[in-house]
Structure 1
Amino acid sequence: MDSGQQRLKELGYKQELKRDLSVVTNFAFSFSIISILTGVTTLYNTGLAYGGPISMVYGWFITGFFTMFVALSMAEICSAYPTSGGLYFWSYHLSGREWGPFASWITGWFNIVGQWAVTTSIDYSLATLIQEIILLSTGGANGGGYMASKYEVIGIHGGLLFIHAVLNSLPIGWLAHLGMLSAVWNIVGVFFLMIIIPVVSPRKATSEFVFQHFNTENTHNIHSSPYVFFIGLLMSQYTISGYDASAHMSEETKASDKNGPYGIVSAVSISLVVGWGYLLGITYAVTDLNHVLDPSNDAAGYAVAQVFYDAFKNRYGSGTGGIACLGVVAVAIFFCGMSSITSNSRMAYAFSRDGAMPFSNFWHSVNGWEVPINAVWLSAGIAFIMALTSLGSQVAFQAMVSIATIGLYIAYALPSLFRVTLARKTFKSGPFHLGPYGVIIGWVAVLWVATICVLFSLPIEYPVTAANLNYTPVAVGGVFLLVILGWLFSARLWFRGPVSNTEVKPFTL
Structure 2
Amino acid sequence: MSTHSSASTQRPVSMSGEAIRPETGDIDAGSADELLVSLGYTPELSRNRSTLQVAFMSFVLASIPYGLATTLYYPLIGGGPVNIIWGWVAVSAIVICVAASLGEITSVYPTAGGVYYQTFMLAPPNWRRLAAWTCGWLYVVGNITITLAVNFGSTTFLVGCINVFETADGEGVLAGEPYQVFLIFLGITLLCNAISSLGNRWLPILDTFAIFWTFAGVIAIMICVLVIAKNGRHDATWVFTHFEANSGWTPGWSFMVGLLHAAYATSSTGMIISMCEEVRAPATQVPKAMILTICINTVAGLMFMIPLVFVLPDIQELILLAQPVPAIIKSAIGNSGGAFGLLIPLLVLALLCGIGCTTATSRCVYAFARDGAIPGSKWWKTINHKLDDVPLNAMMLSMVVQIVLGVIYFGSSAAFNAFSGVGVIALTAAYAAPIVVSMLSGRETVRTANFSLGHFGWFCNIVAVCWSVLVIPLFCMPTAVPVLDPTLMNYASVVFVGFTVISIAWYLAWGRANYVGPPTA
TM-score in same-fold range (> 0.5): yes
1:147 aligns with 2:168: no
1:322 aligns with 2:339: yes
1:307 aligns with 2:336: no
CA distance in structure 2 between the aligned counterparts of 1:144 and 1:32, rounded to whole angstroms: 30
**What secondary structure, in the 3-state scheme, does the structure 2 residue paired with 1:137 have?**
coil
What displacement does 1:322 show?
0.5
CA distance in structure 2 between the aligned counterparts of 1:124 and 1:301, rounded to whole angstroms: 12
CA distance in structure 2 between the aligned counterparts of 1:284 and 1:242, rounded to whole angstroms: 28
**What secondary structure, in the 3-state scheme, does the structure 2 residue paired with 1:169 have?**
helix
**What secondary structure, in the 3-state scheme, does the structure 2 residue paired with 1:394 have?**
coil
Alignment match, 2:305: 279
**Which of these residues, 246, 251, 256, is aligned with residue 230 of structure 1?**
256
1:366 aligns with 2:395: no
Alignment match, 1:206: 235
CA distance in structure 1 between the aligned counterparts of 2:399 and 2:260, rounded to whole angstroms: 25
Alignment match, 2:397: 378
CA distance in structure 2 between the aligned counterparts of 1:140 and 1:417, rounded to whole angstroms: 58
What displacement does 1:425 show?
3.2
What displacement does 1:427 show?
4.5
- What is the root-mean-square deviation in Å for CA atoms of aligned residues? 2.1
What displacement does 1:320 show?
0.9
**What secondary structure, in the 3-state scheme, does the structure 2 residue paired with 1:181 have?**
helix
CA 1:426 to 1:120, structure 2 compared with 1: closer, same or farther past 3 Å? closer
CA distance in structure 2 between the aligned counterparts of 1:343 and 1:496, rounded to whole angstroms: 24
CA distance in structure 2 between the aligned counterparts of 1:326 and 1:254, rounded to whole angstroms: 36
Deviations 1:254-297 (A, max 9, x none): 1111001111111112111111121101111114323333x3xx
Alignment match, 1:342: 359
CA distance in structure 2 between the aligned counterparts of 1:139 and 1:469, rounded to whole angstroms: 31
Structure 2 unaligned residues grouped into runs of 5+: 1-28
Alignment match, 1:70: 98
Alignment match, 2:462: 443
**What secondary structure, in the 3-state scheme, does the structure 1 residue paired with 2:234 have?**
coil
CA distance in structure 1 between the aligned counterparts of 2:479 and 2:375, rounded to whole angstroms: 37
What displacement does 1:251 show?
0.5
CA distance in structure 2 between the aligned counterparts of 1:237 and 1:422, rounded to whole angstroms: 28
The answer as to whether partners of 1:17 and 1:370 remain within 8 angstroms in 2 is: yes
1:190 aligns with 2:218: yes
Write out the 4+ residue segments of structure 1 that deviate beyond 6 Å after TM superposition. Answer: none
What displacement does 1:174 show?
1.2
What displacement does 1:465 show?
5.0
Amino acid at match of 2:216: V
CA 1:347 to 1:194, structure 2 compared with 1: closer, same or farther past 3 Å? same
CA distance in structure 2 between the aligned counterparts of 1:395 and 1:171, rounded to whole angstroms: 33
CA 1:433 to 1:426, structure 2 compared with 1: closer, same or farther past 3 Å? closer
Moved more, 224-233 or 115-124: 224-233
**Which of these residues, 237, 246, 256, is aligned with residue 272 of structure 2?**
246
What displacement does 1:361 show?
2.1
What displacement does 1:131 show?
1.7
CA distance in structure 2 between the aligned counterparts of 1:177 and 1:57, rounded to whole angstroms: 32
**Which of these residues, 46, 49, 52, is aligned with residue 74 of structure 2?**
46
Alignment match, 1:454: 473
The answer as to whether partners of 1:168 and 1:341 remain within 8 angstroms in 2 is: yes
The answer as to whether partners of 2:214 and 2:349 remain within 8 angstroms in 1 is: yes
CA distance in structure 1 between the aligned counterparts of 2:39 and 2:456, rounded to whole angstroms: 26
CA distance in structure 1 between the aligned counterparts of 2:445 and 2:341, rounded to whole angstroms: 55
What displacement does 1:127 show?
1.3
Alignment match, 2:429: 410
1:496 aligns with 2:513: no
Amino acid at match of 2:265: T
What displacement does 1:487 show?
2.1
What displacement does 1:301 show?
5.5
CA distance in structure 2 between the aligned counterparts of 1:39 and 1:17, rounded to whole angstroms: 29
What displacement does 1:426 show?
4.3
What displacement does 1:464 show?
4.4
Alignment match, 1:87: 115
Deviations 1:216-274 (A, max 9, x none): 3x32x33x221221111111111112122321111100111100111111111211111
What displacement does 1:3 show?
4.5
The answer as to whether partners of 1:80 and 1:428 remain within 8 angstroms in 2 is: no
CA 1:4 to 1:144, structure 2 compared with 1: closer, same or farther past 3 Å? closer
CA distance in structure 2 between the aligned counterparts of 1:198 and 1:265, rounded to whole angstroms: 31
What displacement does 1:59 show?
1.2
**What secondary structure, in the 3-state scheme, does the structure 2 residue paired with 1:136 have?**
coil
Q: How many residues align?
A: 489
CA distance in structure 2 between the aligned counterparts of 1:226 and 1:268, rounded to whole angstroms: 26
CA distance in structure 2 between the aligned counterparts of 1:135 and 1:242, rounded to whole angstroms: 29
Amino acid at match of 1:460: T
Amino acid at match of 2:502: L
What displacement does 1:191 show?
2.6
CA distance in structure 2 between the aligned counterparts of 1:144 and 1:61, rounded to whole angstroms: 34
Alignment match, 2:187: 159
**What secondary structure, in the 3-state scheme, does the structure 2 residue paired with 1:145 have?**
coil
What displacement does 1:177 show?
0.8
Alignment match, 2:14: none
**Which of these residues, 407, 417, 432, is aligned with residue 388 of structure 1?**
407
The answer as to whether partners of 2:65 and 2:300 remain within 8 angstroms in 1 is: no
CA distance in structure 2 between the aligned counterparts of 1:469 and 1:162, rounded to whole angstroms: 28
Amino acid at match of 1:483: S
The answer as to whether partners of 2:149 and 2:420 remain within 8 angstroms in 1 is: yes
Alignment match, 1:352: 369
- TM-score calculated relative to the size of structure 2: 0.89
